[in-house]
C-alpha cells in the first residue's frame, strides 16, 4: 500500500483531477477496507471559477484554501455527501470532486449500504460513492496522505486515449464555468 504523497495534490487542480483517474480510494470502516479505482473526477478552482465553492470564501469552503491533500466533504440537497481532495499550494484554493469509483474491495458492505443495485452502480455518482463507503462530514478535513480511515493509494497510470474531458455536470456560473472541460472520465471496461 502506497499513499499518494502531498506533492501529488500540490499541483494545478485540473492536472490533479486527470491524474486521480486510476488511483485507488480507500475507506477503512469498522476495520474493513472498502475501495475502488477512481474513474470520474471534476476540477474546481478558486476565485476565478464561478462554479467553485471557493469563488467566495466561506466557513465551509475555507478548507479549500488550506494545505493540499486533505478531504473536503460537504452536504448537498439535504441528503448527499460529496468527497473532494484539496489541491494547489497552501493559500491557493482548489479541489477535485471524486465523482465515481469502480468498486474493488468490500463489495458486500457496499451492497449493504446501497441496497440492491448492480456492483457497477454502487459508487457511480458522488453521493452514491459516499454512501457506499460510509463517508460523511465526520471525515471532513482528514489528511488523505496520512489518515488510516480515508486515503488514496497509488494505482495505475491511464493512457490519454482512455480519458474523456468534458464540461462539468450541473454547475452554475458564467459561460466559462459551465463550459470548462474539467470533468475527466476513464473510458474503460471498469465501468
pLDDT tens column, 151-189: 999 998 999 999 999 999 999 899 999 999 999 999 875
Task: Catalogue all structural domains in the chain, each as residue range(s) with its CATH number.
Answer: 6-186 (3.10.300.10)
Determine contact, residues 143/69, Cβ cutoff 8 Å: yes
Per-residue model confidence (pLDDT) at position 56: 86
| Residue pLDDT, tens place only, 21-42 | 999 999 999 999 999 999 999 9
Can you give the pTM of this predicted structure? 0.95
- Distance of CA 1 to CAs 4, 23, 24, 82, 145, Å? 10, 12, 10, 25, 12
Cα–Cα distances in angstroms (integers) from residue 42 to residues 34, 53, 139, in the given order: 22, 13, 20
Q: List pLDDT tens digits, range 72-92.
A: 999 988 789 999 999 999 999
Amino acid at each position: 500500500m502506497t499513499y499518494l504523497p502531498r506533492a501529488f495534490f500540490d499541483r494545478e487542480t485540473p492536472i490533479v483531477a486527470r491524474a486521480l483517474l486510476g488511483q485507488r480510494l480507500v475507506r477503512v470502516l469498522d476495520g474493513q477496507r472498502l475501495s475502488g479505482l477512481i474513474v470520474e473526477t471534476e476540477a474546481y478552482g478558486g476565485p476565478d471559477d464561478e462554479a467553485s465553492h471557493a469563488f467566495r470564501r466561506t466557513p465551509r469552503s475555507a478548507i479549500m484554501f488550506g494545505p493540499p491533500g486533505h478531504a473536503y466533504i460537504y452536504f448537498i440537497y439535504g441528503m448527499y455527501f460529496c468527497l473532494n481532495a484539496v489541491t494547489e499550494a497552501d493559500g491557493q484554493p482548489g479541489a477535485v470532486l471524486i465523482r465515481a469509483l469502480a468498486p474493488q474491495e468490500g463489495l458486500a458492505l457496499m451492497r449493504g449500504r446501497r441496497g440492491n443495485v448492480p456492483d457497477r452502480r454502487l459508487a457511480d455518482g458522488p453521493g452514491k460513492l459516499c454512501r457506499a463507503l460510509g463517508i460523511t462530514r465526520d471525515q471532513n478535513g482528514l489528511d488523505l496522505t496520512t489518515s488510516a480511515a480515508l486515503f488514496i493509494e497509488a494505482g495505475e497510470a491511464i493512457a490519454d486515449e482512455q480519458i474523456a474531458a468534458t464540461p462539468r455536470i450541473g454547475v452554475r456560473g458564467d459561460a466559462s464555468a459551465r463550459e470548462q472541460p474539467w470533468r475527466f472520465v476513464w473510458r474503460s471496461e471498469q465501468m
